A and B are shown apart, each in its own frame.
Chain A
Amino acid sequence: MIGLAHFLVLGAVLFSIGIFGVLTRRNIIGILMSIEIMFNAVNLNLVAFNRYLYGGDLWGQGDAIFVITLAAGEAVVGLALVLAIYRNLKTVYVEKMDLLKG
């Protein structure tokens, strides 16, 4: 029987994988993809709590919709920034983006 704990553990595992990706990816698009994995882990937790603890309400799912919407906005702005940086620096590797160093 699948319960709330199963989903919480899966969400934790996916979130940690996303953290690993954010910390280790050299490609900035890879970092954005890892952030999307973390968003999905959080959404999974929200919906699982909604289903198993507050089955009569839908607030968790409503929150997840807002998370998805803002993730779309984040992806749009983030990828526009990535392409602007690529136009200027001709790289997508974060260690090459060092214009601010003294």
Chain B
Amino acid sequence: MEARVPGPRGEGVMEAFAFYLMAALATAAAVLVVTERQVFNAALYLAAVLALVAGLFGFLGADFLAAAQVLLYVGGILVLIVFAVMLSSVRDGRVRSQINAQWLPALAVSLAVAVAVVEAVRRSSFAAADVQAAPTTGALGMLLFNEMALPFEAVSLALLAALVGAVFFSRKERPDGAAGDAK
């Protein structure tokens, strides 16, 4: 693994410190997201994970993506999740375990995936390209509206479908039980 972007000498230590700090915090917060008993607290830890990933995007020179991450994920998706947690308030969340009985096989599966990917990364060799970071917003806009115009339109169609689907699923059901009674 020799893929490295060369930079000035003295910045290396600060860079490594920043990366390891963000990586450790993100990993710890992610572990807390999947193990925390209170779903609301898990949502708050998820906010930490998303914000730290935005910081890592900034570390990689993806300035526009870091801003989009904060706007869309932390500001949008997370608020939706918190809304859903509040609207489906679970009263027995404090006493009952939030983890099902299959945690040991699940741990084995996730560890196997992690070991496999890390081993693949260790054996691979990528040729490094030494390109300095530059502002990306303008170039990204040109890319989105020229070469990526077709996926852009497809995504707008998917968003429209999601909008209609959300309205359909969240509307009040008619009292005659047209959409089916659960119990």
A interface residue numbers (CB < 8 A to B)? 1-21, 23-27, 29-30, 32-34, 36-37, 40, 43-44, 47-48, 50-56, 58-59, 61-62, 64-66, 68-77, 79-84, 86-89, 92, 95, 99
Chain B residues with CB below 8 A from A34, complex form: 33-34
Chain A residues with CB below 8 A from B165, complex form: 76-77, 80
B interface residue numbers (CB < 8 A to A)? 1-5, 7, 12, 15-16, 19, 23, 26-27, 30-31, 33-34, 39, 42-43, 46, 49-50, 53, 56-57, 59-62, 64-65, 68-69, 72-73, 76-77, 80-81, 83-85, 87-88, 90, 93, 97-100, 102-103, 105-107, 109-111, 113-114, 117-118, 121-122, 126-133, 136, 139-140, 143-144, 148, 151, 155, 158-159, 161-163, 165-166, 169-170, 173, 180-183
**Is B162 a contact partner of A44 (Cβ separation < 8 A)?**
no
Report Cα–Cα, A83/B170, bound state, in Å.
Answer: 7
Q: A19-B113, A83-B170 are in contact. Are A58 and B140 (CB under 8 A)?
A: yes
Report Cα–Cα, A83/B147, bound state, in Å.
Answer: 38
Smallest CB-CB separation from B113: which chain A residue? A16
Smallest CB-CB separation from A51: which chain B residue? B60
**Is A76 a contact partner of B113 (Cβ separation < 8 A)?**
no
**Is B88 a contact partner of A65 (Cβ separation < 8 A)?**
no
**Is A33 a contact partner of B43 (Cβ separation < 8 A)?**
yes
Report Cα–Cα, A7/B83, bound state, in Å.
Answer: 32
Report Cα–Cα, A92/B86, bound state, in Å.
Answer: 12
Q: A1-B16, A7-B56, A73-B159 are in contact. Are A52 and B3 (CB under 8 A)?
A: yes
Chain B residues with CB below 8 A from A81, complex form: 169
**Is A21 a contact partner of B33 (Cβ separation < 8 A)?**
yes
Task: Please report whether the interface of chain B is mostly helix, strand, loop or mixed according to DSSP.
Answer: helix
Chain A residues with CB below 8 A from B85, complex form: 29
Contact partner of B121 among A12, A17, A61, CB < 8 A? A12
